Amino acid sequence: MVNRAQASLEHLYKVFTMPEGQDSKLAQIEQHLSDNLSDFLSQHIVASETPLEKLEAMFDGADLPEQPQFVSEHAESLLSNLVAHSVNTYSPRFIGHMTSALPYFHLSLAKLLVGLNQNPVKIETSKAFTPMERQTIGLMHNLVYRGSEGFYTNYLHSAAHSLGAFCSGGTIANITGLWVARNQALKATGDFPGVESAGLFAAMKHYDYNDLVILCSQRAHYSLSKAMNVLGLGKRNLIAVASDGHTLCPVATQEVGLSEIQKGNKVLAIVGIAGTTETGHIDPLNALADVAQVLDCHFHVDAAWGGATLFSDTHRHLLNGIERADSVTLDPHKQMYVPMGSGMVLFRNPDDSNAVRHHANYILRQGSKDLGSTTLEGSRNGSSMMLYAAIHIFGRQGYQLLIDQSIEKANAFAELIEKHPMFELTTEPTLCILTYRVCPAHLVGESLSEAQMQKLNRLNVRVQKRQRESGRSFVSRTRLKLSQYQGQETSVFRVILANPLTSKEDLIAILDEQALLAQQLDDDHVLSEG
């Protein structure tokens, strides 16, 4: 039987008042994390992947533990059950997702954050965290919109305005941006109290629209479809317009928009993507801003991935036009190297957030500067502190260096792939994302039969899975419809080169491993026969 701690008040008070001893398991874990994060992770995370069923067996059943457990005992079990089977996001060879190594200082800040345990929903539970978060939003607003000094003097700490909202991630940010767009399009007028009060059904009747639609590209993030669902707009009213290769075509967007208007529909918004999740492409933001003017609609830019590119004077121009967006989503937990749980929506016009402002009696009183008045979330943690700190510790120039080296690395990797006889670069790097696949040189760009394509797809899926399972490195995979293959579904590897610790040697090792795996797993002989 497990030796359980005693359920006494005395014992319980101890966990609140007595620090863990210096030799305790948790203190050891902390020390190891502080001394050498990479070593901690390599030592505790098992290399080869454990099947999900086995992991589920470790977290099975729903019987609440009756008795307390000693902290150190629980820490041991966390190490062996949970930590051992985590993803090593710090590893320079895990280049398949958008989480990367983090700087060391966030470890300490995380501890400070929990020690303070502020709640920025209102000033009374967060004090300085409120102006700190407002300033952090302002700094990012300035990065995107470059407002005048007077603009920020007027609005940064204004009780009647908000430059944006900090939130847990890009999905909440996108929902918030489109929520504002919806409420503005169906705002109060005359006797009509606005969609926020009357609801969508009454609002649509009042405004006499058949439907509200939003236009975006086929590569838009799934959170937009989620936003359509939750906001009551309906997923089928998110219209995926034809692309110019990989980006949203402004001409087609305007045509579709005008035809929707002719049908009696209202175009609520155009969403431009600045760094698609799958391939990193950036929609032509300036041209789309023009179209939004023609269609008289909201222009939202989802820059969750690519927004941090604005720090780089070298590459900032790729996002030209973003400053014309009505709202912009950013995800600092991606290329700004802050821990998971850091998203943000920004509004060009500081009045816009009033479209979703709300009040309550004991909290968020009228005229207060409580952040909760204009956020989708209520109580939440003060993790904007980590973003505030990161902006100051890296500085604009620091972020520029990080962004620039990521893009350079992606270009270098693309070159390696193109030179390799067993791989095909399927999408060129935009920012630091690229896709490629195992494909022998003699088949690259050829007209492939459906059977050949299926064999290649199967092989690529198997290589990706086996590589992941073996635990030395990780790329993700997706399916793309590529023009060079007449829109056939093509399974590809997807890599994101945002981890500053990833070296050229790492990239060569990843390709070598994949080439070897491809040869081992090529049961269909697609590599030799074609």
Closer residue to a second copy, CB minimum distance, 281 or 333: 333
Q: How far is the CB of 58 from a second copy (least distance, A)?
A: 7
Q: Phi and psi for 244 in degrees, rounded to 5?
A: -90, 85
Q: How far is the CB of 419 from a second copy (least distance, A)?
A: 26
Q: How far is the CB of 525 from a second copy (least distance, A)?
A: 28
- Contact yes or no for 422/438 (Cβ under 8 A): yes
Task: Please calculate the CA angle 254-485-302 and round it to the nearest 5 degrees.
Answer: 40
Closer residue to a second copy, CB minimum distance, 190 or 362: 362
Distances (CA, A) of 133 to 129, 178, 427: 6, 22, 38
Which residues, in sequence order, are bridge partners of residue 221? none
Q: Phi and psi for 302 in degrees, rounded to 5?
A: -90, 95
- Contact yes or no for 467/513 (Cβ under 8 A): yes
Long-range contacts of 452-458 (CB under 8 A, 24+ apart): 452/526, 452/530, 453/485, 453/488, 453/489, 453/490, 455/524, 455/526, 456/490, 456/491, 456/526, 457/489, 457/490, 457/491, 458/491, 458/524
Closer residue to a second copy, CB minimum distance, 20 or 513: 20
- The pair of structure tokens assigned to 367 is 């005229």
| Helix or strand (DSSP H, E) at 154 | helix 149-155
Q: How far is the CB of 420 from a second copy (least distance, A)?
A: 23
Q: How far is the CB of 441 from a second copy (least distance, A)?
A: 26
Q: How far is the CB of 219 from a second copy (least distance, A)?
A: 10
Per-residue 3-state assignment (H helix, E strand, C coil) for 74-103: HHHHHHHHHHHHCCCCCCCCECCCCCCCCC
Distances (CA, A) of 267 to 79, 170, 315, 325: 52, 23, 31, 15
Q: How far is the CB of 463 from a second copy (least distance, A)?
A: 15
Closer residue to a second copy, CB minimum distance, 54 or 525: 54
- The pair of structure tokens assigned to 196 is 């926020």
Closer residue to a second copy, CB minimum distance, 242 or 501: 501
Residue 326 Rama label (left phi>0; alpha psi -120 to 50; beta): alpha
Q: How far is the CB of 530 from a second copy (least distance, A)?
A: 27
Closer residue to a second copy, CB minimum distance, 315 or 443: 315
Closer residue to a second copy, CB minimum distance, 299 or 311: 311
Q: How far is the CB of 237 from a second copy (least distance, A)?
A: 6
Alpha-carbon span 252 to 461, nearest angstrom: 34
Closer residue to a second copy, CB minimum distance, 147 or 272: 147
With the C-alpha atoms ordered 366, 369, 375, 380, is the resulting torsion angle positive or negative? negative
Closer residue to a second copy, CB minimum distance, 360 or 441: 360
